Structures are given as C-alpha cells and as structure tokens.
A and B are shown apart, each in its own frame.
Chain A
Amino acid sequence: MTDAQGKGAVLPVSKDPGDAILEFLRLAVAKELADAVILPMKVPSGDSFAWILMNDVSLFEGAVPIAAAMPVQGAKALRSLTRKGPGNLTVIAVMRPCEIRAAIELEKLGQVHTDNLILATYDCPGAIPLQKYVDDPGGSEEHFSLMRRSGKPDNTAKPVCHYCENFSMFDSDLHFGYFGFSEKEVLVIPGSDKGSELLKGLDLDLAKDLSDWKKGIDSLKAEREEARKSAFEETGEQLRGFSGMQSVFASCIGCHNCQSACPICYCRLCYFDSETAQQDPDALITAAAKRGGVSLPEDRIMFHVGRMTHMSLSCVSCGQCTDACPVSIPVAGVFSYVADRTQRTFEYEAGRNDGDPLPLRQFRKSELPGIHELVKNAESEEPSHE
C-alpha cells in the first residue's frame, strides 16, 4: 500500500540505493538536522548484521541500510534506545516497513518513544532467513541483489515476505522508494511534518511525480495479495480444528525463542512462565487419567494460543518467530493468518499511526451483538473439538 501524496524528492545514486541513503544520512548529521543514526552493519565475521547507533559520519561507510537479512527486528533496537524515554537527541532510524510498524505498535504499548526519532522506511523486497544467510552469506547477497532489482522475493526469502502487502511506504516519517528505477534513482517521500522538515532542511525539492513509482508498487502488491490468499487458504486447512493446531505445533520444545525474537512481545516474565501457570502434580495426573495422557512440559500449545491472544492485534508479520524456531515450525505463517483475521475483526491495522487505540483497551457496547454473531459463525464453520 502506498500512502504517498503527490510528490517526492530524488536522491542521486552512485553505487546502489543503500549508498544513496547513506549519503543522505551523512548530510543530515553534518547539517545537524539529526544527532545520530541507527543502521545495520555487517559483523566482523561477515555472516550477519547488527544494529549500530552512531554519530560519527566517517563510520557510515561500513553500514548497509538495506540489509539482506534481519537478525534482530529493528523495533527491538528502538525499544532498547527509547524505552526509558525519548531523550533529547534526534536519531534517524532506517528500517524495513515491518520494523517501523512494530515500533509504532510498541509506542502504543509504552515501550518505545518516538518523539525524537525520525522513522524512515524503504521499499523492501523481502529478507533472507537468518540461518540461510549465516550458512551462505555470498550466495544470499546475490539473491538479495536480484530481489532488490525486481522488487520481488524469490524462493530464498522468508515465507512471510512472499505475501507481505506492506513492503512499501507506511506511516513512517520518510520513505525511500526505489523499486522500478533500475537502481538509478531513489525517491525520498515525506510521510509527516517531521519528514517534510528534514527534507526542507536538506534543500531537497519535492519535484518528482510519484505516479509511475506508485503504479509499479501497486502491481507488485497485487501479486503479493494473490500469494497471501493461497497461503492463508493452505494455513487455514492445516489449522482446522484443535487437532490441526496440535499437529502444527506438535514438535514445539517450549523454548520461547519465538517470543524472544518477536518485537512485540514485551513482557518481562511470560505469563506461562509465572507461578500461577504451574500445575500441581496431582492435577496433572488427574488430567492424564481423564485424557489418556498429558504432554510435558505442559501448556506448550496454550503458550502459542496465549501469545496470539496477547499480540496478534499488533502482529506485523515480520517472520522473526519462524527464523528463531529451532525445530522449524512455521510460527509466522500461523500467526500471520490469525493476525489477519483478528485485525480485520476489530477493524484495526497494526502499525498505523492514526490515533486508533489498541482494540483490547476499549469497549464499545455496539460491538457486543457483533461478537455474538462472530462466535455463532465461527462455531458453524469449525468442526467440534475431538
């Protein structure tokens, strides 16, 4: 979805879009329009990236704004930076749309303060799963390069990226658009007053018409939507009934990696690790007698259901959870499917910065009859539990 209005500015490209962005950032810092930036940098071993907060312009060269992999979801980095408050210094963060969207959700949850952040996104062709990148950084970079040029995720990209519709401009302060320009031009589009002011400060005119670029984005989006439909159909089938859930999550080892990697999950202590979630031995044995057997540690599937309940309304389908799972459960596929449905039910879009409060924090009497209908419909769709 492109939200850009009308016009954008153009950045000259010498090497590649990432480079143009670096130059932009150098100027912004040099002109004191920002005090620091946060960007991915390749780690010394060359097989991963790390978020680096820096203000020394001479170090920018080593940074890779459009990184092939996403080891740590950017919103987590922003949380580390601004959890205690907005601070007094301005920082520009250049991240994938899903990372900025997650940051906006975290702001609603009091975990990120964006007052002094300038949030910038770029056209994202998808990301290579971390394990793949670590195993073959060179090959991954080649694939990613192709993806960047075509604007489409290929078969090496994370599964969720294939059907991500929010890969371009969203509710960020600035957006760098480059799909469809054969890496010769990068558009800079302001999305807010903060963004407009920064462009003004850099003497960048909003001269370029965006309609061609938008057309390209829209057609890419249509493809992603198709992929989304079929992916969700398949997921829906897999998850049918409680036994569906059980089979998808059967190999879960309860490591909670998905929770740790998720940018949204902000709890210090997961409810399922708390004292009250612990069962008495007698209660477990009684349950085993009643049901024929109880799998231990208990509540491994409930953990996922609980996590969905707590965060699916804010889920941005970044796919970190699948990346982090040591037993290759398609967590992101399941959570994206559920998030899609819950967000539609509450007419809420995760990552939007329009003042719409989180649905679970408010109660509208008018919703009550609707929920009754929902439950009735859901009951008629699904077969009864075994």
Chain B
Amino acid sequence: MKEFEMQESGQDRKLRAKVGVYICECGPNIAGKVDLDRIITDISELDDYQDVELVVKKYGFLCSAPGKEYLEEEINSNGFTHLVIGACSPRDHDSTFMGVCKKTDLNPYLYRIINIREHCSWVIDDKEKATVKAESYIRGGIARVLRQSELFEKPLDINPDVLIIGGGVAGMEAALSLSSDDRRVFLVEKTDRLGGVSIDLSGILPGQGEVIGKKIESVLGNGNIRVFLNTRVENVIGFLGNFEIELLSEENTEITEIMSGAIVVAAGGTLFDPRESDRYSYSGSDEVYTSLSIEKMFAGDDGAVLRSGKQPSSVALIHCVGREEKNYCSGICCSYMMKLACFFKKQSADIQVTEFYRDICLPKKNDQERFSEAQAAGVALIRIKDISLKGTNVSFERISGDKDKQSFDMVVLAPALEPSADTEYFADLLTVPLDEFGFFQEVHKMTNPVGTATDGVFIVGAAHGPKGVSDSMQFARASAGQILTRLIPGEKLIPEVAVTEISEAYCTGCGNCLEVCVYGAIYSDDSRGISVVNEAVCRGCGNCFGSCPSGALRTKHFTNTQLYREVDEALR
C-alpha cells in the first residue's frame, strides 16, 4: 500500500531513473545513413536495466531553435532524470544541449552527447554496419549517463585589475587600452624608464614624430595606471580573476603586494648577438654596429658617424643576421634597414650605401614605399646566397654563385629578434610553456595568439614572437580586448565544472600529477603530505589522472567507472 502511494505521489521519479534518449536525424546526415527506427525499437526493448525507464525518440535537427524548444518541453513533461542525445560531435553541440538542460530541472551534467555522425554516419557507407555501431554507441551512452553525477557551477568573484609586465611599447599600449575608473592597471618595468627598446627608434610609424615620448606622457599622466619603475615581479600565485603578486623594488628592496585578475606579459625581446654565429667576427673597436646602435646614433645630434667623428664613405647594411642560425625571419629588418639606408643617404649623398640581403621581406601594405625610396636614393641592393664578416670586410656569394669581397668604412647588422633574457624566468613563474625558439607559447597560433595555457596570462609584443612596433601594439590591444570582454567589473566568472579532484585518503603526495599539469592547477599541501587541485584553474584535461599510479585522482564527469562501463556496454 505504501509503495503504491509513493508511486502515485510522483516520488518514484527520484527513486527510478528515467532516461530520455533523443536521436537527431541531422537532416539526411544521420537519418540517411543510419536506420534510426531500428535503433529506437532495439533500445526501447532493452531490459538490461532494473528500475530504469527508457524513452527513445528521434527528431529532425535538435540544434535548431524549434529542436531545442522541443527538447526542453520533453525534459520538463517527462521529468527525465538523465538524458542521452545521439547526434554530432561534442565540439559542435555539447554546450548547446547543456544550455537546454540548464533551462530545465535536469542538471546539465546528467546528460551526455553521443557522436553518431562523425563517428558513424559520416565514415561508414554500409547502412547495416553504421546502424550497428550507432546503436552500440548509444547503449554505451546510456550506461555512462547512469553513472554520472550532478555537478554545479561555482561562480567566482573576480578582480578586474590588470598587471602588465614590461613598460615598452606593447606594455604601454595595453595599459592605455585597459585602464578606466573601474579597472586599475599596474605597469611594472624593471629598468628606470618606460619606452623599452623603441625609445630610440625614429620614423617607425607612418607620419609619426615623437610617438613614444607622447605615449610615455599619457601613461604617466593617467590616474588609473600605477607605474612601478626599477621593479621586478618576484612571485605570482592564483588564477584568472584572482592573481596575487609580489613586486620587489630594486631601490628600497621593498615588497609590494598587489592583486589582479589578469596578467599581460610584455617583457619584450632582445637582439641576437651576431658574434654567436661563425659568420660574423668583429671586435669592439671595429666600425661594426647593430641596427639598434645606429638608430640611437641617428636619434642623436651627430648622426651615424665613425668613432673618429668622420662621415663614413661607405656603409654595408647586412640583413638576415641570425635568420639561418635561428631558423625564423624576424619580419621587420628589411623595412627598417631600407629606412636606415635612406637616413644615411640623407645624412650625406656621398655615402655609398650597399644592402646585402637574402630575400626582401616587406609584408606590410605600406612598406613597398621603403624599397622604392631606397632604390631612388641610390642604395645598392645585392642579393646574396651567403655572407660572412671579418671586421668591416664583407665576403659574399652572389645568387649567381660568384664569390666576392668588399671592404667598408662601416658595417650595420640587422640581428634577429630573440626572446628577452627574462623569458625563462617568467615561463617558470607563470607556468607558461615556451615554444621551440624560446618565445612564449600561445594557445593556438591562429585562433588565439595572445592567450596562453595559463588562462588569464596573455603574451604580447616581442615576447610572443619577433614583430615590430605596430604589430606589438595590435597584440597589446588584442589582449586588452580579451580582458575587457571577459573580466567585467562586478560580474563573476564561472570556472570549469568538470574538474579533477584528489582523494585525501589515497593520495601520498608523490607529486606525479603536479609535475604533469600544464595549467599549474595542482599544488602540494605539505602539512597533509598530499597534492591538491585548485578547482578554479583546473580545466579537467585529465593529464594528472593518467599519471597517478594509485587512482587517487578522479576527473569529475570522466571517471574511470563512467568510461569503462560505456566501453564495456558498447562492445557487448
């Protein structure tokens, strides 16, 4: 009698599982290649599960607006405890159907999307085989979903302020783009002035005069940007929205603690030392200069002259210094070398200027002018196969194969742009990986070039890779764009829900998981002798899970039990 009453009152909805299995036809994509009616019949007739009711249906396009409405209706009216969707790749629509669940009483983590399109209908021509596979997948999905647990979002308060490391062009641009009354910027610079490498550059941007100087004024005059000169970043802990940073002032060795929601790494680059290569040998007393030194000279009153103060009668400008050695092209040198060539010619029309290059690389739409100007000014452009330098004696092999030698009064080298000396330090501090050249590694070369594996840490300017002033500013603005649209003052962030947790009972603190976590999401709790996951940083990738010999880790929503039972069932 009691049991009967419980059923009547609807209580049994919670004691019995009721699984909705909805198969999307995806138009002809799935329905045309898989016998859905047969699957519906077979699954409906499954009697493997005690106390589980299965409702199996198909629908045209579940991801369409009416499809989603239909699904919502079905969940509500049936009171499903679990949901399986047989459709396309989770990459396409996992979040779509999670969104539908969120509108109902069904916890979105009690649902699972099963891929019967990319895995079945798109790759198997034989309808019978495709149907058998799709059906086994769906059965596996049901077994899996019955072992899933409710999981809940935990919105986090965030700090909208931003720490910018490096006060060069990129750092300053990011600071100016980001700062507002609602969002403070902490701009930390290790030297005693802002401006970085570009402070001595002139004529770098079309029609510009004192660009950098003006920018420094804007930054220093901005009440929402707090500038720290002669300061280094000592320590960083935390995650997107909640970083805690320790700054060390070189002057008074004082530690300042600041908090921020994001970190922009604008630590810049440095120039390759040509003497590291066998091709270039010269001493400090030779009239051999890097392009940067020449830029500084042109910015001064005397211009680019020899140590004696005299005008050089001949200047060699050698491109691609370090290109072969480092195996990348820095992309900016051809442009500025042509500019420098014209500067020499303006300084004195009598100077014989010769540029030695491997390829002309002028990728910007306005750069071609530089080439025409150099040609018009009478600069000799010699294409070479290889080149070497002894003092100011240049030995080169022309493209024809002829070898030649020439001596010059002055030689200017365009060295490759390298990662700055601090790059490894920051990579370690911020747990950001480095690429094969030693630059910071971006999340995705094409679709997310300023993001890093540590969410909340962005890389801009030459820290990302060799680039010039205008591209550096663009990257800085892109990082600002990401921060402005994601870390909104007053709004909360919702970190990943399906994260990994470590059992205190089983963990012995061996640290395997900590070492393999690329997101820096695991830390060691020495007082308990165990490792602990920071759920706000964890992305649920499961790397750690694979590294633990004792199975002390459990990736929520992808537990061993769920996966094994899904596979067992699918293979039955």
Contact = CB atoms under 8 A, between A and B. Distances in A.
B516 A267 contact: no
Interface residues of A, number: 27
A360 B511 contact: no
B512 A270 contact: no
A267 B572 contact: no
Contact of B547 (A110, A269, A360): A360
B508 A267 contact: yes
Nearest to A265: B549
A283 B565 CA distance: 9
Contacts of B511: 109-110
B510 interface: yes
Contacts of A310: 549
Interface in A276-295: 276-277, 280, 283, 286
Contact of B509 (A110, A275, A358): A110
A357 interface: yes
B155 interface: no
Chain A, interface SS category: loop
Interface residues of B, number: 25
Interface in B497-549: 505-512, 515-516, 524, 526, 529, 547, 549
A267 B529 contact: no
Nearest to A270: B550
A105 B547 CA distance: 17
A268 interface: yes
A275 B561 contact: yes
Contacts, number: 65
B560 interface: yes
Contact of A357 (B515, B526, B549, B559): B515
A358 B515 CA distance: 10
B254 interface: no
A110 B523 CA distance: 13
A360 B529 CA distance: 21
B426 to A, nearest CB: 20
Interface in B335-393: none
A242 to B, nearest CB: 20
A350 to B, nearest CB: 15
B515 A362 contact: yes
A266 B551 contact: no
A111 interface: yes
A289 to B, nearest CB: 11
A276 B561 contact: yes
B510 A109 contact: yes
A361 interface: yes
B168 to A, nearest CB: 31
B147 to A, nearest CB: 11
A98 B410 CA distance: 66
A362 B509 CA distance: 18
A280 B551 CA distance: 19
Contact of B560 (A84, A110, A276): A276
A360 B526 CA distance: 23
B510 A286 contact: no
A361 B551 contact: no
B338 to A, nearest CB: 38
B568 interface: yes
A269 B328 CA distance: 50
B505 A268 contact: yes
Given A266-B508, A360-B512, A271 B549 contact: yes
Given A84-B529, A276-B564, A268 B551 contact: no
B507 to A, nearest CB: 8
B526 A85 contact: yes
A88 interface: no
A218 B172 CA distance: 65
Nearest to B505: A268
A83 interface: yes
Interface in B302-340: none
A267 B550 CA distance: 6
A274 interface: yes
Contacts of A84: 529
A312 to B, nearest CB: 11
Nearest to A278: B561
Contact of A276 (B507, B529, B551): B551
Contacts of B560: 276
B547 A286 contact: no
B391 to A, nearest CB: 39
A58 B552 CA distance: 45
A83 B510 contact: no
B572 A286 contact: yes
Interface in A246-275: 266-271, 274-275
Given A266-B508, A360-B512, A361-B547, 15 more contacts: A109-B511, A110-B510, A110-B511, A267-B508, A267-B552, A268-B505, A269-B505, A269-B550, A269-B551, A270-B550, A274-B506, A286-B572, A358-B515, A361-B515, A361-B516
> Top 5 A-B pairs ranked by shortest CB distance?
A267-B550, A276-B560, A310-B549, A361-B515, A109-B510
30 contacts: A83-B529, A110-B509, A110-B524, A110-B529, A111-B509, A111-B510, A266-B508, A266-B510, A267-B508, A267-B549, A267-B550, A269-B505, A269-B506, A269-B550, A269-B552, A271-B551, A274-B550, A276-B551, A276-B560, A280-B568, A286-B572, A310-B549, A357-B515, A358-B515, A360-B512, A360-B547, A361-B512, A361-B515, A361-B516, A363-B516
